[in-house]
Structure 1
Amino acid sequence: MDPNEPHPHDELRKQLKKDEGEEEKINWFAEIRGLALMLLAVLVFHSLVAKPFYIPSTSMMPGLHVGDRLVVSKYPYGWSWASASFHLLPRGEWRVFGSTPEYGDVVIPVHPTRDEDYIKRVVGLPGDTIEVDQGRLILNGTPVKREVVPPVRIPFEPELLCNGSPCLSSFDPYRVREADGSVFFEPPTFRETLPNGASYLIIDHRTQRSDNFGPYIVKEGHVFVMGDNRDESADSRAPAEASGLGGGIPLENIGGRAEFITFSLDGSATWNPLSWFSAMRGDRAWTTLRPALSEDETASEEAAE
């Protein structure tokens, strides 16, 4: 064969190299589009179906502890501007398929002026008259049923509870040290039961300004909310300027309902994921956040059936 003539396989080699080069090229437009669609799907799911939520404060103790992670459903009361994750929509008075929460529901209200999510319990519905007298909740002129129960046990976790000061000082009189050296708080605890039978635990351990409030009439299209840790909660009793919610919450300002705890980490958790395994509070995972029904209410439901 003439050395100057092209080898029969040269064309094949050139074509293979060309195909390999084309395979190595990345279609960046398709990659970015795929990523954008995935992020959009996550945003839609978070806004319309459910989203995760982290508990950063003690205001809902004893039911919710700092470090709890939970699921918030977005559809129970319909959808509004507050449903959109990251508060991407402008505020408005509109709602789609709107409904009213029930007594005892744990909801996610948005602050009246700041794009900040709170988590509180519904204790007053539209038209109700709310009053708090020496810490005792009064609904439509009748004191809400409240029973003394054994104190809840709250772990001593200064890493989570405001780094040890000043919020731990309010629980300090109820600090207990076990024989094995473990330390807990056991503050005064009560079981509160609302008119529909919704029953839950609250902490009421000191005298402070919000122990006396009202009377206050909940406007139509609003609900009144309070934290279960009654002395450590900026809720409907406190003005918006003092980090409270400034009275009744418009229903369109409620972004969802808390459903259950997925997992919880104590104060030993760090940025290192390996520390999360030892910090896991195993007894809190999958705990429902729906209020229990009192025995009287359960019995009446069974009789109706």
Structure 2
Amino acid sequence: MASKSTTGNPVLETIKTIFWALLIAGVFRTLFFQPFWIPSGSMKETLLVGDFLFVNKMAYGYSYASCPSIRLGAVGLDVDAKDICGFMDGDNTRILGSEPERGDVVVFRHPVSGVDYIKRLVGLPGDKIQMKDSVLYINGTAVGLVDDGEFTEAMERQGPQGSYPRCENGSVGEGAACVKSRQIETLPGGVSHKILNIGLQATDNTGVYHVPEGHFFFMGDNRDNSTDSRVPQTAGGVGYVPFENLIGRADRIMFSSAGRSMLFFWTWRGDRFFKAIE
């Protein structure tokens, strides 16, 4: 006699499958790599609006900030990283911690708002940082700068937010050329990267910032269009970022789309797929 096969409750099996899939994805995202879309132009031209990358969480070890924040406004879900891994918060240390290097492009958690930012690390603990006439000084010495022509892009809405770029050549019309001066900056230690300038503003001439122990100083490569460590947290900026707030290092762009949605395949930037971040 043939034995009767038994099957479980299909609804229960589906729930179990979804649970395990979410658990595995959560562990992977917490321990290894976190996806990150570039939402603004603060890191142009190193990173463009619409670039998609994975953040290497193994680079600096783990802290409470390594846990993901889950925010789904449509269903009222707002789970902060501190709600999951708050037991690791407060002592500014990391598990299997490794110090970042000057010049790294880092994703970190804003010390006040908890929002994820991506900037370049220019100041290490104990450094003295200052801007003079748009030139970065580290411990009293100007970084290396070489003029590198211009960066040109179209004056049009960019990314899901639909924001327009800022231009050095003034207010230009829709579709016109938006131009910024470009230089190659070389930091102590030898890391070279491109930076953009639009014009003199308050953050191009600053006092001296003394980076505290256990903290880091970050700046955007698009120097005149970046909210970063040059502005203190009390004034809406980033200020000094604690070691425990680092999430990981950005090493490579995986995909890039110039349109309002990644589904608009005609806006994909094929030359930026798997592009190393310098």
- In structure 2, how many angstroms separate the alpha carbons of the residues matched to 1:255 and 1:261? 17
Shift of 1:233: 0.6
Deviations 1:2-59 (A, max 9, x none): xxxxxxxxxx9xx99xx58x55x62544432332122111111111100110011111
Decide which of 7, 16, 27 is 1:44's aligned counterpart.
Answer: 27
1:151·1:189 contact (CA, 8 Å) conserved in 2?
A: yes
What does 1:63-102 align with in structure 2 at a 5 Å threshold?
Answer: 63-86=46-69, 87=81, 88-90=84-86, 91-93=89-91, 94-102=93-101
Decide which of 249, 252, 270 is 1:260's aligned counterpart.
Answer: 252
Shift of 1:65: 0.8
Structure with a larger share of its residues in helix = 1
Match of 1:143 in 2: 142
1:62·1:154 contact (CA, 8 Å) conserved in 2?
A: no
SS in 2 for 1:63: coil
Match of 1:7 in 2: none
Shift of 1:157: 3.0
- In structure 1, how many angstroms separate the alpha carbons of the residues matched to 2:122 and 2:231? 15
Shift of 1:162: 5.8
- In structure 2, how many angstroms separate the alpha carbons of the residues matched to 1:280 and 1:169? 22
Match of 2:219 in 1: 226
TM-score (normalizing by structure 1): 0.78
Q: Which amino acid aligns with 1:76?
A: A
Shift of 1:176: 10
Structure with a larger share of its residues in strand = 2
Decide which of 233, 237, 242 is 2:230's aligned counterpart.
Answer: 237
TM-score (normalizing by structure 2): 0.86
Runs of 4+ off more than 3 Å: 27-31, 159-164, 167-172, 174-177
1:70·1:260 contact (CA, 8 Å) conserved in 2?
A: yes
1:49·1:74 contact (CA, 8 Å) conserved in 2?
A: yes
What does 1:156-167 align with in structure 2 at a 5 Å threshold?
Answer: 156-160=155-159, 163=162, 167=164
SS in 2 for 1:200: strand
- In structure 2, how many angstroms separate the alpha carbons of the residues matched to 1:175 and 1:192? 28
Relative to structure 1, the CA distance from residue 199 to residue 176 in structure 2 (aligned partners, 3 Å threshold; closer, same or farther) is farther
2:44·2:222 contact (CA, 8 Å) conserved in 1?
A: yes
Larger Rg computed on CA atoms: 1
2:151·2:180 contact (CA, 8 Å) conserved in 1?
A: yes
SS in 1 for 2:223: coil
Match of 2:112 in 1: 113
Relative to structure 1, the CA distance from residue 218 to residue 50 in structure 2 (aligned partners, 3 Å threshold; closer, same or farther) is same
Structure 1 unaligned blocks of 5 or more: 1-11, 292-305
2:41·2:165 contact (CA, 8 Å) conserved in 1?
A: no
Deviations 1:255-301 (A, max 9, x none): 1111111111113x448x3xx22111111111111x3xxxxxxxxxx
What does 1:1-305 align with in structure 2 at a 5 Å threshold?
Answer: 19=4, 23=7, 26-86=9-69, 87=81, 88-90=84-86, 91-93=89-91, 94-160=93-159, 163=162, 167-173=164-170, 183-246=176-239, 248-267=240-259, 269-270=260-261, 273=263, 276-289=264-277, 291=278
2:169·2:180 contact (CA, 8 Å) conserved in 1?
A: no
- In structure 2, how many angstroms separate the alpha carbons of the residues matched to 1:37 and 1:215? 51
1:157·1:266 contact (CA, 8 Å) conserved in 2?
A: no
Identity of aligned residues (%): 39
Shift of 1:223: 1.2
Aligned CA RMSD, in angstroms, stands at: 2.5
How many correspondences in the alignment? 262
1:224·1:236 contact (CA, 8 Å) conserved in 2?
A: yes
Shift of 1:170: 3.9
- In structure 2, how many angstroms separate the alpha carbons of the residues matched to 1:45 and 1:161? 27
- In structure 1, how many angstroms separate the alpha carbons of the residues matched to 2:101 and 2:158? 35
SS in 2 for 1:173: coil
Q: Which amino acid aligns with 2:275?
A: T
